[in-house]
Amino acid sequence: MKSKMILMLSLVMGVITTILFFQYMKQFNTEKVATATFQTVGVVVAKEKIEKNEKISSEKLEIVQKSEKDVLPQAVKSLSDAEGKLATSMIEKGETILTHRLGSEQEEGVYVSRKVRDGYRGVSVGVNINQSVTNLIEPEDEVDVVFTKVIKNKEKQDVPQSIILLNKVRVLAVGRKMVTPENTKDPYLEYSSVTLELKPEDAVKFVNASEQGKIHFILNKRPLMNEENQTNQKQ
């Protein structure tokens, strides 16, 4: 009788020990999974949509915590690594910034084709000092294109007639210079051609006009200068 009691107690204790062991292991595994699940890393994402070839500002970026297992090796983790770079393709709002989708303005100075936006074309025209605002037009400026053609009046005299052919056109390059003055060793170089970014139909109109008469450029004020002036006025 006593032996049976001891055997029964041993079995009960064994069952209890087994249950406690499995509960402990279950708790241990749960904590391990929870730790792995909540291990996160901060990555830079687009706070707003960023267009192709746009210079990325800090206002369009933010750091978001994401699960480490979901973060690609190319993900940018510091705002300073993306700020001031050029987007080589469009980046949607909330999208993680990846290193291979960033380019420097120096890199854009090698291939003008990388600066041309989708749906546009690059087209050049020869210019002299007067036509180019005394060579003061720079890459990324905006210009109005003025077309002048000599026509005959009623008295059959030659009379020049000028019209604004195109408004606020982006300048891709002047001569072979494709970056702004602050990003080049020789900021002020003479040049004899200007390359514009135009829609295909406007490019045809532009080339046709340059063959028929003279082209002059009217320089617009840079939008960035306006923003800087507004900032200075607020201060």
Supply the CATH number for residue 63's domain.
Answer: 3.90.1210.10
What pLDDT, on a 0 to 100 scale, did the predictor assign at position 227?
Answer: 42
Residue where a domain terminates, one of 103, 125, 142: 103
Task: Tell me, yes or no, whether 49 and 90 share the same domain.
Answer: yes
Examine residue 167 and state whether it is found in any structural domain, yes or no.
yes
Residue where a domain terminates, one of 103, 126, 147: 103
Task: Quote the domain boundaries for residue 152.
Answer: 117-222
Query: How many domains is the chain partitioned into structurally?
Result: 2
What pLDDT, on a 0 to 100 scale, did the predictor assign at position 27?
Answer: 67
Q: Which residues of the chain have pLDDT under 70?
A: 1-7, 9-12, 14-15, 21-22, 24-38, 104-111, 183-185, 223-235
- Enter the pTM of the model: 0.54
Residue where a domain terminates, one of 71, 103, 135: 103
What pLDDT, on a 0 to 100 scale, did the predictor assign at position 235?
Answer: 38
What pLDDT, on a 0 to 100 scale, did the predictor assign at position 181?
Answer: 74
What pLDDT, on a 0 to 100 scale, did the predictor assign at position 126?
Answer: 95
Examine residue 27 and state whether it is found in any structural domain, yes or no.
no
Burial class of 111 by CB neighbour count within 10 A (0 to 12, 13 to 18, 19+) = exposed
What pLDDT, on a 0 to 100 scale, did the predictor assign at position 123?
Answer: 96
Examine residue 3 and state whether it is found in any structural domain, yes or no.
no
